[in-house]
Amino acid sequence: MAEHVTESIIEHRDVWIFIEQESGLINPVGFELLGEGRRLADDLGDKLVAVILGRDVDELAGDVFARGADKVIIVDDPVLKDYRTYPYRAGLVKLVEKYHPRILLMGATTLGRDLASAVATEVRTGLTADCTELGIDPETKLLTQTRPAFGGNVMATILCRLSRPQMSTVRPRVFKLPPADCDRAGELINETLAISEDEVPTKVLEFRAHTDHSDVEIETADVIVAGGRGLGGAEGFGLLRELADALGGEVAASRPPVEMGWVAVDRQIGQTGKTVRPKLYVAVGISGAVQHAVGMQGSDVIVAINKDPEAPIFKLATYGIVGNLFEVVPALIEALAGVERTSSDVSCEVVEEDG
Ligand SMILES: Cc1cc2nc3c(=O)[nH]c(=O)nc-3n(C[C@H](O)[C@H](O)[C@H](O)COP(=O)(O)OP(=O)(O)OC[C@H]3O[C@@H](n4cnc5c(N)ncnc54)[C@H](O)[C@@H]3O)c2cc1C
């Protein structure tokens, strides 16, 4: 065992980011992780390596270099066209066993959660899910993985001391999108998948769209107007919709309105809901419990409207309005015009380093 540990610490290097893509479209959480990974890699003196698995994914490398990767490893194979655990796990495990990364980060998406646990199990390492903060311990150089624990009442920092890679998943929007620099160059490595379609036990027959989904993309909204128990009922959310429309935003909620059936579950923000990082988050009749805060505290500007001046939400707020929401919100609707929305989409060609 001791021999294995020593070998692990000496041989493993580099910070890897798994870049999730679907039909050639990169999930932005991959870019967000590149931004954070860049900081970790610089701290360790490591390379930042992005890994892309899929079919016809070569052209994605340019965008990935632009967001900070030093190297991109691509496995392009027809078997990887649609996500299935078996071939993606096999592909990623093969790379981990060949290159021995120190750290492997993945998005806490449906795909990322599935793949991360399968890979961690196969390579016999630890996995910390849903991290809200990552860092490097200055003494041990271990990855510090912080996440809510015990029902969100404490933030626990977890270390993976013995096994490698140190693996974490992070939800979309926890980290900021790094700026794209289309002039950045990097090393492109093509690897092969060692398995054939015959070996894969699951087959994709067709895709069907969900019909029980409200089709809302809360995670990508620039403006979110969220309501809490203080709204008093579904009618209160009608008022909130008017405010959201005036701001060009989406309506979201804390957990009680979802539990009471006032709002659809895919609009819940927080530990057991979604994590968002909009330019503007308006919290109306929300107290600001830690389980809600972990889902919205990264927002650029937070405006809180609450009748209780002692409500914890005011500690997070950039601007606070103390008052009855049923007076404040109609006054805001009257006063507000729409806000302009900007796009952060950038597309870059592959720039490879000479030699
Ligand atoms: C394991 C676990 C996971 C959880 N996950 C989540 C999660 O993902 N998301 C989440 O949100 N919560 C979550 N919770 C619940 C969380 O602990 C809080 O109970 C919840 O966030 C409180 O919601 P709230 O702020 O809407 O309600 P309350 O705490 O009841 O606050 C209502 C606020 O409205 C104000 N108010 C009332 N009337 C008015 C008015 N007329 N005008 C202005 N202000 C008014 C009050 O002053 C009060 O501050 C979780 C809890 C646990 C244990």
- Tell me whether residue 212 is in a domain: no
User: In terms of domains, do 142 and 36 share one?
Assistant: yes
pLDDT for res 123: 96
CA distance 241 to 226: 10
Q: Which domain holds residue 69?
A: 2-199
- What's the pLDDT tens digit per position in 129-170? 999 999 999 999 999 999 988 877 788 999 999 999 999 999
Q: Going edge to edge, which strands form the sheet with 250-253?
A: 250-253, 223-227, 280-284, 301-306, 319-322
User: pTM score, two decimals?
Assistant: 0.76
The residue contributing the CA closest to ligand 1 atom 11 is 254
- What's the pLDDT tens digit per position in 38-81? 999 999 999 999 999 999 999 999 999 999 999 999 999 999 99
Q: Is the CB of 38 under 6 A from ligand 1?
A: no
Site to probe by mutation for ligand 1, drawn from 225, 255, 258, 260 as the one with most ligand atoms within 8 Å of Cβ, is: 255
**Strand ranges, E, within the chain:** 15-19, 21-22, 25-26, 48-54, 71-76, 103-107, 127-131, 133-136, 143-149, 154-158, 166-170, 187-191, 223-227, 250-253, 280-284, 301-306, 319-322
- Tell me whether residue 61 is in a domain: yes
- Asked if pLDDT for residue 219 goes beyond 50, the answer is yes
User: In terms of domains, do 252 and 165 share one?
Assistant: no
DSSP string covering 224-263? EEEE-GGG-SHHHHHHHHHHHHHHT-EEEE-HHHHHTTSS
- What's the pLDDT tens digit per position in 303-344? 999 999 999 999 999 999 999 999 999 999 988 855 454 444
Question: How, if at all, do strands 25-26 and 21-22 pair?
Answer: antiparallel
The residue contributing the CA closest to ligand 1 atom 36 is 230
| Ligand 1 atom with least separation from CA of 311 | 49
Q: Is the CB of 173 under 6 A from ligand 1?
A: no
Phi/psi at 226 (5° precision): -110, 140
Q: Find the 289 Cα to ligand 1 centroid distance in Å.
A: 6
Q: Find the 155 Cα to ligand 1 centroid distance in Å.
A: 19
User: In terms of domains, do 194 and 222 share one?
Assistant: no
- Tell me whether residue 81 is in a domain: yes
Which amino acid is it at 152? G
User: In terms of domains, do 267 and 318 share one?
Assistant: yes
User: In terms of domains, do 10 and 42 share one?
Assistant: yes
- Tell me whether residue 270 is in a domain: yes
User: In terms of domains, do 162 and 20 share one?
Assistant: yes
CA distance 306 to 283: 8
- Tell me whether residue 149 is in a domain: yes
The total of structural domains in the chain comes to 2
- Tell me whether residue 177 is in a domain: yes
Of 109, 105, 121, 122, nearest in space to 49 by CA: 105
Q: Is the CB of 320 under 6 A from ligand 1?
A: no
The residue contributing the CA closest to ligand 1 atom 26 is 228
User: In terms of domains, do 192 and 223 share one?
Assistant: no
| Ligand 1 atom with least separation from CA of 272 | 8
User: In terms of domains, do 158 and 39 share one?
Assistant: yes
The residue contributing the CA closest to ligand 1 atom 30 is 229
Last residue of a domain, one of 137, 168, 199: 199
User: In terms of domains, do 141 and 270 share one?
Assistant: no
CATH code for the domain of 79: 3.40.50.620
CATH code for the domain of 263: 3.40.50.1220
The residue contributing the CA closest to ligand 1 atom 51 is 291
Last residue of a domain, one of 164, 199, 234: 199
User: Which residues contact residue 10 at a Cβ distance below 8 angstroms, ignoring those fewer than 6 apart?
Assistant: none
- Asked if pLDDT for residue 226 goes beyond 70, the answer is yes
Q: Is the CB of 228 under 6 A from ligand 1?
A: yes
CA quadruple 250, 256, 260, 264: dihedral sign: positive
User: In terms of domains, do 317 and 245 share one?
Assistant: yes
- Tell me whether residue 326 is in a domain: yes
User: In terms of domains, do 231 and 166 share one?
Assistant: no
DSSP code of residue 282: E
